[in-house]
Amino acid sequence: MEYTHLGSSGLTVSRLCLGTMNFGWKTEEADSHAIMDRALADGVNFFDTANVYGFDAGKGRTEEVLGSWFAQGGDRRDKTVLATKVYGGMSDWPNDTFLSARNIVRACEGSLRRMGTDWIDLYQFHHVDLETPWDEIWQACETLVAQGKVLYVGSSNHAAWQIVEGNAVAARRNFTGLVSEQSHYNLLTRHVELEVLPAAQHSGVGILPWSPLAGGLLAGVLEKGEGTRRTEDRQQKRVEQHRTALEAWEALCRELGHAPADVGLAWLLHQPAVTAPIVGPRTMEQLEGGFRALEIELDDATLTRLDEIFPGYRPAPVEYAW
């Protein structure tokens, strides 16, 4: 396993982050525990979840699965850099949603209780809250940090200007501010290259790409053919929309001799702003594929061909101004 610092912080994390969104509802608890044991044994020390994960099994269920795994001991908690998120509503009652100081503090207490831990290494804002001022957000985070319940703070789905503004307000308060940003980033979805990635690099904020395989489109969807989950109506429309590029993509992966999913992750690992893609396996096999991506070296010629298949963006304003 390779490791790096999370943004400009001193926190060391693995180059792959284990996403747990499927645990407890799509992946049974025992299988989830086995996947986490395997990830930790192979050096993945960075696990990501959210308070709302659990969906059909109930919000908070995924955090409970992590809690029952930590309870098995064996230094599982001490070895894990634990990240969770706040924003989504945990009930229909007012103030149980978004980023008010009240919800941040109370949601943190709920996450700590469900996971059976005293602290969260990385507490992330799951989405931007345009109605709550940064001073209020940071006041709540400062309280949690002072209490030792949160060590670092990150964002998710934030625009470049929001990341910069948030850290500017934090600096005025002599607070560390954001050390990471989770963004939708993969070969098919590259909009963050315009402003989010440059802003993050300038601000010392590590990028954690979510949906690194575009919901399965980059995992060899054409080669797998009909009869799979990926060819359901909504996904099939996306396949048809990108069929020409996907055909070229899968042909290139065959030429390279690697599975498309592994190449898709490897490409993200070659992007200088990226700290760790979030790999969200449902099965052990999917986790093992992520490990293979760490061994793939993409030369300049291959990276150029990938840019031709899936055109990206130059940083703004260069992309559109001249």
Q: Which residues pair with 207 in a beta bridge?
A: 181, 274
**CA 16 to the chain's CA centroid:** 10
- Of 150, 137, 161, 157, nearest in space to 207 by CA: 157
Task: Give the other-Cβ count within 10 Å of 235's Cβ.
Answer: 16
- CA nearest neighbour of 218 among 181, 189, 195, 193: 189
In eight-state DSSP terms, residue 258 is: S
Determine the straight-line distance between the first and last CA of the chain, rounded to whole angstroms.
41
Give the C-alpha separation, 16 to 157, whole Å: 19
Cα gap 208→156, rounded to integer Å: 9
Strand ordering across the sheet containing 120-125:
206-210, 178-184, 150-156, 120-125, 81-86, 46-48, 17-19, 278-279
The two tokens of residue 179 are 């050390």
Q: Which amino acid is located at 269 in the chain?
A: L
317: preceding bond cis by omega (within 30 degrees): yes
Residue 53 annotated among the catalytic residues of the structure? yes
- The catalytic residue among 53, 87, 123, 152 is 53
The pair of structure tokens assigned to 211 is 């949906």
Write out the catalytic residue numbers. 53
